[in-house]
Structure 1
């Protein structure tokens, strides 16, 4: 009840072929296929780029002992500033 039978589908297909012609339908089918291919390629390229973007930031990580060495070379005023910044 309410479903589309194969006979009805065949009639609709025949009407579409008569309206548009086989050449135009073939062209539309190839255009649609190339659009789907391009979409899939763009999606896969985005996934590859997203994996590359998940890398860490472009700075080198400093060890804690490097900061201590750096603090020893600073003037007393600069050392106070770094201590204040570390507290925050």
Structure 2
């Protein structure tokens, strides 16, 4: 017994009605920024990466 598409749409509609689309949009951008910051911090401990175009092919 999983969640059907209609149940998901009803829950989504209730969430949009409670919080409003503008607040949900700002919340989504905040979460996206946090994920990007986390990815950058996880990658900063590794060796510096070169862009694909500047890598030279091996002979």
The bucket for the TM-score relative to the shorter chain is 0.7 to 0.9
Task: Find runs of 4+ consecutive structure 1 residues off by over 4 angstroms.
Answer: none
Give the total of aligned pairs: 48
Q: Which has the higher contact order (CA 8 A, sep 6+)?
A: 2
Show the 5 A alignment for 1:13-52: 13-48=12-47
Name the residue aligned to 1:12: 11
Q: Which runs of 5+ in 2 are unaligned?
A: 49-59
The Cα shift of 1:48 comes to 2.8
SS in 2 for 1:48: coil
Offset at 1:37?
0.3
Cα distance in 1 for residues equivalent to 2:47 and 2:14? 44
Q: Give TM-score, length-normalised by structure 2.
A: 0.77
Structure 1: any 5+ residue segments left out of the alignment? 50-88
Structure (1/2) with the larger helix percentage = 1
